[in-house]
A = this chain, B = another copy of it.
């Protein structure tokens, strides 16, 4: 019936994630997108709507691809403390020694956009809920299996751990000493002792 697209939507979304993640919403121009996504202006607008819409879809893509991995690790954890330490390490390795650390796209979105864009806020909140709930469930499971003290409150502890992860995401935006980062991990995971 009609001409077929010369690109994969998923691939282009991944590329859009790459741009918006690194530079944020306002600092990424339409020209940037056209130049780096390998898709012409008209096809971009035809497929994704306007810039804001593309940004929202990129946020969903980021959440699915990047955060999905962390969720999976937590949900399948056998040793929770070890798993959380591994996640901290993953996060650190992503940004350390990077001249332009990207941090977390959802944290960047929260600070740049969430206050003035309810759709962005909803995505950020959804992500928070997922991670906090997964962490809470993992704590409960560990308690049920007698691997964790039962006087630890699952909900507030999960919230505090999630909160610490967010904090580290910001900290990594300005390069940090490894010793400081290790200290934060050590103390945060002490919540599970």
Contact = CB atoms under 8 A, between A and B. Distances in A.
A166 B170 contact: yes
Nearest to A106: B170
- Tell me the number of copies of this protein: 2
For the complex, would chain A's binding face be called helix, strand, loop or mixed by DSSP majority? Answer: helix
A155 interface: yes
A110 B103 CA distance: 10
A interface residue count range (under 10 / 10 to 19 / 20 to 34 / 35 or more) = 35 or more
Given A24-B26, A111-B112, A112-B111, A163 B164 contact: yes
Contact of A160 (B23, B101, B108, B188): B188
A97 interface: no
Nearest to A162: B167
A81 interface: no
A164 B170 contact: no
Contacts of A155: 183
Interface in A163-193: 163-168, 170-171, 173-175, 180, 182-184, 186-188, 190-191
